[in-house]
Amino acid sequence: MPDLEARAAEVNARLKKRYPDAKCALDFTNAFELLIATILSAQSTDARVNIVTKSLFRKYPGPKEFANADIVAMETDVKQTGFFRNKAKAVINCSKAIMEKHGGEVPRTMDELTALPGVGRKTANVVLGNAFSINVGIVVDTHVGRVSGRLGLTENADPVKIEEDLMALVPRKEWTIFAHRLIFHGRQTCDARKPRCEECVVSDLCPSAQLATASPASPASSRGRSARSATPSSKTPRQSRTSKSPRGRTRNTSE
Ligand code: SF4
C-alpha cells in the first residue's frame, strides 16, 4: 500500500502540473444550478448540458420555479440532454423535496443529498465538492473509473469500490480536484479507445502503458485492473478488458 500511495501521489502531482486548469466542466452560479446540471448530465455531455441549462435557468431561476414546472414543458426543455422523461421528473421532484424539506436550500450532507429524488452518490459528490468545497468522497465517472483502473490504482469495476480505493490513496483535501484531473486526463490523453501513452505524463508510472508496449497491436487495457501492483499481468490487454460487474455478470468495460 505505501508504494501505491506514493504512486498515486506522484500521479496526482504530475496531473496537477499537466492540467493546472482542471475544474468542473458544468456551468453553474450556485449549488442548486449545479445539482440540476449534474442530474441532466447523466448519459450526456457537459457541453450539451451547458447549452440546455443556459436557457433553462433563465426560464426556471430556482427550486421554487422548478418545483412548480409543468412536466410536459420540462420534458421539452431538457429533451436535448437525452432520457428527458426521467430527467424532467427527477429535476421537478428533486426541487419539490428541496422546497418541502430544506426550505429551498440545497442540503450540505451526503445523506440529505442522496435522499433527494434522482440524486445518487456521484451527483452528491459533485455538488458537495464543487459548490460547497466539502470533500466527502471522490466523483467516479466513466473517465475516473477507466483511468484509475489503467493506472493500477484500483482493481474494482464498481464505482463505490473504486471510490473507496481512491479515497484510501489520496489525501482528503485533494479528493475533488483529483477527480477533475483524472477526468481531464481521460478526455485529453487517456482516451477510452486510443490512449495516447506515448505523450502521457504518467506513462512511466502506468502498468497499462507497459502492457501496451509489450503488445503494440492492442491498446492499453480498458481498466488495467490486473496491474494494480504495477507488475504487468500475463493477460493481454484485450483479455483484461472484461470484468465481473457488481452483480456478477461479465461486462465489457471499454467505452
Ligand atoms: S500511459 Fe496510457 S493507459 Fe496509462 S494513463 Fe497514460 S494514456 Fe492512460
Give residue 242's pLDDT: 34
CB 40 within 8 A of CB 55: no
Question: Does residue 217 or residue 76 have the better pLDDT?
Answer: 76
Ligand 1 within 6 A of CB of 11: no
Give residue 176's pLDDT: 98
Res. 29: pLDDT tops 80? yes
Q: What is the mean pLDDT of residues 40-44?
A: 96
Ligand 1 within 6 A of CB of 195: yes
**Residue among 141, 158, 191, 235 flagged as catalytic:** 141
Residue-wise pLDDT for 60-117, tens only, equals 999 999 999 999 999 999 999 999 999 999 999 999 999 999 999 999 999 999 999 9
Residue 209 Cα: closest atom of ligand 1: 1
Ligand 1 within 6 A of CB of 200: yes
Rounded alpha-carbon distances, angstroms, from residue 195 to 25, 110, 166: 21, 34, 21
Give residue 141's pLDDT: 96
In the chain the domains, ranked by start, together with CATH numbers, are 2-16+140-231 (1.10.1670.10), 31-131 (1.10.340.30)
CB 108 within 8 A of CB 114: no
Residue-wise pLDDT for 124-149, tens only, equals 999 999 999 999 999 999 999 999 99
Residue 202 Cα: closest atom of ligand 1: 6
Ligand 1 within 6 A of CB of 203: yes
Cell (9 digits) for 146: 477507466
Res. 233: pLDDT tops 90? no
Of 30-34, 148-152, 167-171, 227-231, the poorest mean pLDDT is in 227-231
In angstroms, rounded to a whole number, what is the distance separating the alpha carbons of residues 56 and 76?
Answer: 11
Give residue 223's pLDDT: 52
Pocket test for ligand 1, best of 10, 202, 204 (most atoms within 8 A of CB): 202
Pocket test for ligand 1, best of 15, 19, 189, 228 (most atoms within 8 A of CB): 189
Cell 502540473 found at: 17
Ligand 1 within 6 A of CB of 63: no
Give residue 254's pLDDT: 31
Chain length of the chain: 255
Tell me the pTM: 0.84
Res. 229: pLDDT tops 90? no
Is 141 marked active-site? Answer: yes
Residue-wise pLDDT for 52-71, tens only, equals 999 999 999 999 999 999 99
